[in-house]
Chains A and B, each alone.
Chain A
Amino acid sequence: MRSFEYITPASLDAALEVSTRNAPHVKLLAGGTDLLVELKHTANGPKVLVDLGRVPELKGIEETSAGLRIGAMVTHTEIMESRLIAQHAPAMIAAAVTIGAVQTRNMGTIGGNLVTCVPSLDSGPVLVALDALVTVAGAKGKRQMPITEFFVGPRKTALSPDEILVDILIPAVMLGRPASFRKFGLRKGQALALVNAAASVAVEDGRIADTRIALGAVSPTVIRALQAEAIVTGKNVGDTAALREAAEMAVTEARPIDDFRASAAYRRELIAVGTFRVLEEALAGATAG
């Protein structure tokens, strides 16, 4: 690894100040599980590395009137062990346990995962299915946006160079909403996603009143399968044919690619299977509750 200056700000303001001052030759260090790998393999590393590990504003999980707030520096392990998340958004745990291995989850953070913004990011689909909002802070203050707007493209987010991701909010209306997550990888342990799928449903009187379907690793960024959602919404809970139809529709909404891990054709098969299974599972959660 090439050398750099290492700075450990103790507050969000200090972190913003130091990163603004050193932009664009600055990198923010969260969990480091992706960044350190990148720094080891690049010939032109950053001049300044800002470790966010001691910034209190980026930590913690808490319930507020607006919903469930998850600090950007919360690790995947903390998500898995959080009672609040288990109670209000357990699908996030289903996604977190599939990330890397114990060591990765102990170090890696949800904010880091989102900012890296690879198409296969495992935290993304469930957050999209739960209408999550993200807060970013910059020199000009804070702004909040839907997570779908935060994802711009492969390894590209809506963050400007002098901004920091502060937290993620699951809106109060989505708390406790039945949701599910599936990941298809090439191996059970430490799997990278070929396809990720998440769904959430609201069921009223045996009818599906609201649906979210989110897919990862099938397009430049995590997407919502809006037309598939439209097929499901309004149908009866037991309407398996509608789920099959939605699954086929989701395939047409995605733009999977061929790469060395899998062909686009195989990914399309997985999108259909994954969409069907997450819908089935979310509905099972809705009716069981």
Chain B
Amino acid sequence: MHHIEVTINGVLRRAEVPPETTLLSALRDSWGLTGSKLGCDVGDCGACTVLVDGLSVNACLLLAVQADGREVVTIEGLSGFEYLHPLQAAFERLSSYQCGFCAPGMIISAKALLDENPAPTELEIREALAGNLCRCTGYTKVVDAITEVCRDHANAVGVEESA
């Protein structure tokens, strides 16, 4: 067993895990964070996407021990009782998701993109989502919502700069 300490969504969490435990299993089974989903277990579908030290990764392909001492952000870290991440609010407005199973990973990928690039082109948005498979939506309203968030952000920045 390995003792690991991982900062998850700003909270330091500890667990004793066998070395073969994936980060995804640790999140879901040790820490009860079931927002990240198991869709394929081999890194094809992206339903388990989380941020590790700010980079999006497939939590099914990372060992929990590899995350020791690092910072992890999961879908649960994006919103609280009183606030939603702007991406979440936009996805909600457009009903961007249908069955919802891909949503947590897709939202993390979208956040990773906007953290790096607040004004992406549509191609850059599509490129950023290419590791997250969705079978319900054709990605259309997902891309639309991200585009809206970027526009709102640009407007907000513009207002601030002109003020």
| Cβ of B46 under 8 Å from chain A | yes
| Partner-contacting stretch, out of B60-68, B73-81, B87-95, B149-157 | B60-68
Q: Decide if A103 touches B57 in the complex (CB within 8 Å).
A: yes
Chain B 43-57: CB-based contact to A (< 8 A → 1; otherwise 0): 110100100000111
- Of the candidates B2, B44, B63, the one whose C-beta lies within 8 Å of that of A190 is B44
A102 touches B130 (CB 8 A): yes
Secondary structure at chain B's binding surface: helix, strand, loop or mixed? mixed
Q: What chain A residues lie within 8 Å of B147 (beta carbons)?
A: none
- A interface SS class: mixed
Residues of chain A within 8 A (CB-CB) of B46 are: 101, 103
A4 to B56, CA, bound (A): 26
**Are B66 and A36 closer than 8 Å at their CB atoms?**
no
**Structural contact, B62 and A32, CB atoms closer than 8 A:** yes
Answer whether A77 and B130 are a contact pair too, CB < 8 Å, given A1-B20, A32-B62.
Answer: no
Chain A contacts for B44, CB-based, 8 A:
190
Task: Mark B16-27 against chain A: 1 for CB-CB distance below 8 A, else 0.
Answer: 001110100000
Docked CA distance A188–B57 (Å): 20
Q: For A87, list chain B residues within 8 Å (CB).
A: none
Q: How far is the CA of A286 from the CA of B65 in the complex (A)?
A: 47
Given A33-B61, A40-B42: A102 and B19 interface contact (C-beta under 8 Å): no
User: A255-279 interface mask toward B, CB cutoff 8 Å, 1 = contact, 0 = none?
Assistant: 0000000000000000000000000
Q: Considering only CB atoms, which chain B residue lies closest to A101 in the complex?
A: B131
Map CB proximity to B onto A3-29 as digits: 1 under 8 Å, 0 otherwise: 111101000000000000000000001
Q: How many residues of A contact B (CB 8 A)?
A: 28
In the assembled complex, how far is the CB of residue A241 from the closest CB belonging to chain B, in whole angstroms? 35
- A32 to B58, alpha carbons, bound, how many Å? 10
In the complex the two chains form, is B131's CB within 8 Å of A190's CB?
yes
- Residues of chain A within 8 A of B63, CB atoms compared: 6, 29, 32, 36, 51
Residue contact A3 to B56, C-beta cutoff 8 Å: no
- Among A33, A39, A51, A103, the residue within 8 A (CB) of B66 is A51
Give the residues in chain A near B58, CB-CB below 8 Å: 33, 103-104, 107
Q: Are B55 and A40 interface neighbours, CB within 8 A?
A: no
**Of the candidates B18, B41, B49, which one forms a contact with A40 in the assembled complex, judged by CB atoms under 8 Å apart?**
B41
Q: Which A residues between 36 and 93 are near B, CB-CB below 8 angstroms?
A: 36-37, 39-40, 49, 51, 53, 77
Which 9 interchain pairs have the tightest Cβ spacing? Answer: A101-B131, A189-B130, A6-B19, A1-B20, A106-B55, A103-B131, A37-B42, A101-B130, A36-B61
**Hey, which bits of chain A sit against chain B, CB under 8 A?**
1-6, 8, 29, 32-33, 36-37, 39-40, 49, 51, 53, 77, 100-104, 106-107, 188-190
Identify 10 new A-B residue pairs, CB closer than 8 A, beyond the known A32-B63, A104-B58. A4-B19, A4-B20, A8-B65, A33-B43, A36-B61, A40-B42, A53-B66, A102-B130, A102-B131, A107-B62
8 sampled A-B residue pairs with Cβ under 8 A: A1-B20, A4-B19, A4-B20, A36-B60, A36-B63, A37-B42, A189-B130, A189-B131
